[in-house]
C-alpha cells in the first residue's frame, strides 16, 4: 500500500528544511534510510520497535518495514486556486496526497523574511485551507451542474435518482460551509455522510500541523504561545511541535553523533519519528506481520479489512485462493516466544476469510490456486 503525505506551507516557514531532513536522515538501529526517489519525493519506513523483537525471536536475516512517502509540494501563494504562482501544480499534488502535513512558523526571527508582517501560524494555515476551499467550489459547481442534468433526464432510476439527490444535498451544504469559510463544518459534513459518493474535495483531506519552533523551546515545546493557540484550535493530537532546524542538523550526523546531540538536548526521539508515526496512525492504518527465518515483513493496511483482503497485500494469489490463515498476535509471541508455547496457551488459532485484522497480527495464509 502506497501511503503519500504532502508537505505544504507558505514561503520561509521551514517546509523545505523539513523535507531536506526527511531525505537525508535515517532511523537509528536499522539500515532503511530515507531515500529520495525524485527531487520532490522522499520514501522512508515507519519506525516500529516490534520488528526488532520479532527478528530476535525468529533469527530473521532482514527486516522489511512499512513504507511512507513524503511529497514536497510547491510553495503556495494567495491565488493558487486561480493558478497564481505554482497553484496548478500545488493543487494537483494535494489531490494525490492521502494526508496533508501543514508546516507553520511558530518562532520569531527577523533574519528570515516572510510576506506576512507578524508571526501567525493560524493565519498561515487558513491561507492554505482557503485556497483549497476555493478550488473545491469550482469542483462542486461543475458537479452540481452535471447532477441537475442527470436528474432532469429520464434514465435515472429510483435508487440512482436517490443517490444523485443525496449527493446534491450534501454538496449544497458543503458549498454553504465553504462560503462561510468554515473548514471544520466542511469536514464534519463530509465525515458524517460516508455513505454518499461524491466528487473528491481537497479541503476534506486529513491533516496534521507541524509547528516549527525555535531551539529555545525544545525543552518545553508546548509552552510556546503559538503552539498553545494551535492546540486550542485543533486539539493536541493534530499538532506536532518540532525545531526543524535542529531536526535537519541531527539528520546530517552519524548515529553516534546524533545520539550524543539528542542526549544533550534531552530528546528521547526525534520529531521526525513522531511525524512519521503520527502520519501513519492518522490515516487509520494498522500493521500486520509475516515472519520467518528469511525476513520479518510489516504490511500496512486500513483498519477494518478482512484477512482475505489483507492477504492480497502480500500477493494477489493469496487473496484469490484463500482457504484459511493461522493467526496469533505480536503481544502473545513476545510473551511466549515460540509457536508450540502459543499453542499450549491457546493463543494460536485458525481464522476464516471474514476475520477482521487487528494491529500486530502475525499471519500465515493457506491458499490454493
Domain boundaries, the chain: 304-367
* Alpha helices in 8-119, H assignment, sequence order: 15-24, 50-58, 87-96
If you average pLDDT over every residue of the chain, what do you get? 87
Query: Is the per-residue pLDDT at 34 higher than 80?
Result: no
Higher pLDDT, 111 or 307: 307
Query: For the domain bounded by 304-367, which CATH number is listed?
Result: 3.10.20.30
- Cα 92 from Cα 191, distance rounded (Å): 22
Banded pLDDT at 215 (limits 50, 70, 90)? very high
What's the confidence (pLDDT) of residue 331? 98
Please write the tens of the pLDDT for every residue from 41-79. Answer: 888 888 899 999 999 999 999 999 998 888 887 655 555
Question: Whole-model pTM?
Answer: 0.83
Report, as an integer, the average pLDDT of 260-279: 91
What is the 8-class DSSP label of residue 355? Answer: P
Sheet order of strands, 285-291 included: 62-64, 295-302, 285-291, 361-367, 322-329, 349-351
> What are residue 101's DSSP bridge partners?
7, 208
Please write the tens of the pLDDT for every residue from 303-329. Answer: 999 999 999 999 999 999 999 999 999
Report, as an integer, the average pLDDT of 266-285: 90
Query: Is the per-residue pLDDT at 180 higher than 70?
Result: yes
What's the confidence (pLDDT) of residue 85? 44
Are 32 and 45 in contact by the 8 Å Cβ rule? The answer is yes
Report, as an integer, the average pLDDT of 147-166: 82
Higher pLDDT, 19 or 298: 298
| C-alpha cell belonging to residue 167 | 449527493
- Cα 32 from Cα 36, distance rounded (Å): 12
Please write the tens of the pLDDT for every residue from 339-359. Answer: 999 999 999 999 999 999 999
Amino acid at each position: 500500500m502506497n501511503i503519500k503525505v504532502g508537505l505544504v506551507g507558505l514561503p520561509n516557514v521551514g517546509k523545505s528544511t523539513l523535507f531536506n531532513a526527511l531525505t537525508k536522515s535515517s532511523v537509528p538501529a536499522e539500515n532503511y534510510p530515507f531515500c529520495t526517489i525524485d527531487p520532490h519525493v522522499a520514501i522512508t519506513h515507519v519506525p516500529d520497535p516490534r520488528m526488532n523483537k520479532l527478528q530476535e525471536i525468529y533469527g530473521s536475516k532482514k527486516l522489511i518495514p512499512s513504507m511512507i512517502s513524503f511529497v514536497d509540494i510547491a510553495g503556495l501563494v494567495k491565488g493558487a486556486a486561480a493558478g497564481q504562482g505554482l497553484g496548478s501544480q500545488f493543487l494537483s499534488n494535494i489531490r494525490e496526497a492521502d494526508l496533508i502535513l501543514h508546516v507553520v512558523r511558530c518562532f520569531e526571527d527577523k533574519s528570515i523574511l516572510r510576506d506576512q508582517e507578524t508571526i501567525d501560524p493560524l493565519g498561515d494555515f487558513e491561507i492554505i485551507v482557503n485556497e483549497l476551499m476555493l478550488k473545491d467550489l469550482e469542483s462542486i459547481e461543475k458537479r452540481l451542474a452535471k447532477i441537475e442534468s442527470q436528474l432532469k433526464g429520464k434514465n435515472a432510476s429510483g435508487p440512482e435518482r436517490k443517490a444523485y439527490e443525496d449527493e446534491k444535498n450534501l454538496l449544497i451544504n458543503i458549498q454553504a460551509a465553504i462560503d462561510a469559510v468554515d473548514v471544520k463544518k466542511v469536514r464534519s459534513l463530509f465525515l458524517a455522510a460516508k455513505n454518499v459518493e461524491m466528487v473528491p474535495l481537497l479541503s476534506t483531506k486529513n491533516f496534521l500541523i507541524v509547528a516549527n519552533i525555535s531551539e529555545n523551546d525544545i525543552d518545553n515545546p508546548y509552552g510556546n504561545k503559538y503552539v498553545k493557540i494551535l492546540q486550542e484550535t485543533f486539539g493536541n493530537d493534530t499538532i506536532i511541535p518540532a525545531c526543524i532546524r535542529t531536526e535537519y542538523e541531527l539528520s546530517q550526523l552519524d548515529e553516534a553523533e546524533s545520539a550524543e546531540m539528542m542526549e544533550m538536548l534531552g530528546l528521547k526521539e526525534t520529531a521526525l519519528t513522531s511525524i512519521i508515526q503520527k502520519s501513519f496512525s492518522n490515516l487509520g492504518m494498522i500493521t500486520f506481520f509475516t515472519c520467518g527465518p528469511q525476513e520479518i515483513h510489516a504490511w500496512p493496511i486500513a483498519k477494518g479489512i478482512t484477512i482475505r483482503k489483507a492477504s492480497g497485500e502480500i500477493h494477489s494469489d493469496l487473496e484469490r485462493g484463500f482457504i484459511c490463515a493461522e493467526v496469533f498476535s505480536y503481544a502473545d509471541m513476545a510473551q511466549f516466544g515460540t509457536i508450540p508455547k502459543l499453542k499450549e496457551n491457546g493463543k494460536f488459532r485458525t481464522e476464516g476469510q471474514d476475520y477482521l485484522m487487528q494491529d500486530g497480527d502475525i499471519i500465515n495464509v493457506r491458499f490454493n490456486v
